[in-house]
Amino acid sequence: MAKITFIGAGSLVFTKNLVRDLLTFPAFEDCTIALMDINEERLGFAKQMVEKVISSGRYSAKVEATTNRAEALEGANGVVCTIMVGDLSVWRTDLEIPKAFGVDINIGDTRGPSGIFRFLRTVPAMLDICRDIERYCPDAVFLNYTNPMAMLCRAMQGETKVEVTGLCHSVQGTAAMLARWIGAPMEEITYRCAGINHQAFYLDYKWNGKDAYPLLRDAVLNRPEIYNEEQVRNEMFIHLDYYVTESSGHNSEYNAWFRKRPELIEKYCTHGTGWNPGEYAMSIKGNEKRRSDWTNKLIEWRDSPIDLNRGNEYAAYIFNAVFGDNTLFEFNGNVRNFGLIDNLPEGACVEVPVLASKRGLSPIHVGPLPDQLALLVNTSSRSEELAVEGALTGDPRKIFHAICYDPLTSAVLSLAEIKEMVDQMFAANRDYLPQFNHLHA
């Protein structure tokens, strides 16, 4: 019987949905689900919800819940991670300090000053988890959903022997959105997608084997309701010729084009019909709201009927390919760039097609990105590499230099202003950064 461990199982909806997906595979109907979280109340709710999935599907699986990570990991075949390090009070400073300097951030969990400091807080815990996996379940496949994805995966893959990759739903989610826009059934769509996390592009996008980009361009240019659904991403597509995977809110803060002046935020980020990437610190506001009513929501979810239909997240399919019934599964994962994308930094974390099989995870060579994409993605990737090196060596100067080249930050601030901002962010994170010997860059 397989054992699958959830670290950060208090991410309740995700845990419930992934357990549902796992149990739809015959190989996992009698598996052991081990739930681990440091929050006992949320852990208890997670156990109840998983038990409801098991009973609703009449599966023979069993569930264990513990606050002891070693106990949860012992003998696991697969591990899933959805942790968050630090509380809302320090997360706020990731966005509020840059905002005081004029750097307006919408989400802030991936790159730039906010993503880098989130990474600095999170990487020690992630490396500890990997070392425990090496000790208690060294052959396990480790799937990470914690952001900032690229920097964390780069650090874990460089510093440990764990077979780890990072997963993001934006690749398959955006592919389905584009299919809807051109009226294509998703099962008739194929694509090749590569880049870095949240900044990967569909290098080709085909409907029944025929290039669908002309249809997509026509829809974006001539149907206002489609253009307005994703204004930032559609502007990038119009001018860069390829479609990017992650939402307008994220991508508005990964480049210098949309958030450096209030009038640009107003024009491109405020009036979309999908969601509002123009809102400053939307991620914090959403988190505050979820925390304020989470107990009522949990009771509602616990008492609602369970949908037992398999979803589209990759994790269950990957586990099934590696240690289930060994059905091959191709997905986009985050791995180090050893001969995968020719014009991105060697060894950096990239997001490319990966084949899951009983042999494990095998990344697929992509070749070069188009030049106009490589210029944009290289800037982010090299900044991430510098941030990872700074985190692993405890060198705050490298963190400062990484943030100097963040496209949005450098479009708004001078070097001296960036230095002052970074110093303030180090001071705000003093209690969370044991890997740094001093706090000023």
pLDDT given at position 10: 83
Q: State the fold for domain 90-107+167-280+313-441.
A: LDH C-terminal domain-like (3.90.1820)
Enumerate the active-site residues. 169
- Please name which of 177, 154, 136 lies closest in space to residue 312, comparing C-alpha atoms: 177
Q: Specify the DSSP element, H or E, that contains 408.
A: helix 407-412
pLDDT (tens digit, 9 = 90+) per residue, 229-278?
A: 999 999 999 999 999 999 999 999 999 999 999 999 999 998 887 666 65
294 HSE (CA, 13 A, CB side): 15
Q: Which two tokens stand for residue 279?
A: 């809102």
> Across the strands, what pairs with 205?
191
Cβ atoms within 10 Å of 195's Cβ, excluding its own: 29
For residues 219 and 182, the answer to whether their CB atoms sit within 8 Å is yes
Amino acid at 65: A
pLDDT of residue 169: 87
Q: How many CA atoms lie within 13 A of 59 on its CB side?
A: 26
Encode pLDDT of 52-105 as tens digits: 999 999 999 999 999 999 999 999 999 999 998 987 888 899 999 999 999 999
User: Is 269 assigned a ligand-binding role in the annotation?
Assistant: no
Q: Is 122 helix (H, G, I), strand (E, B) or coil?
A: helix
Q: What parts of the chain have a pLDDT lower than 50?
A: none
The whole-model pTM stands at 0.94
Determine the angle formed by the axes of helices 371-393 and 112-136, rounding to 10 degrees. Answer: 60
- Same-fold call for 3-89+108-166 versus 90-107+167-280+313-441: no
How high is the pLDDT of residue 435? 76
Q: What is the pLDDT of residue 339?
A: 97
Residue keyed to tokens 């991670």: 81
Got the DSSP string for 386-425? HHHHHHHHT-HHHHHHHHHT-HHHHHH--HHHHHHHHHHH
Output the six-digit token pair for 356. 């899951």
d(CA 245, CA 202): 7
Return the CATH fold of 3-89+108-166.
Answer: Rossmann fold (3.40.50)
Which residue is listed with tokens 């870095």?
196
Q: What is the pLDDT at residue 441? A: 61
What residue ranges do the domains of the chain occupy? 3-89+108-166, 90-107+167-280+313-441
* Distance from C-alpha of 398 to C-alpha of 118, rounded to nearest angstrom: 16
pLDDT score of 117: 97
**Tokens describing residue 278:** 């123009």
Q: Identify the pLDDT of residue 357.
A: 98
The verdict on whether residue 198 carries a ligand-binding annotation is yes
Name the residue with tokens 């001969």.
339
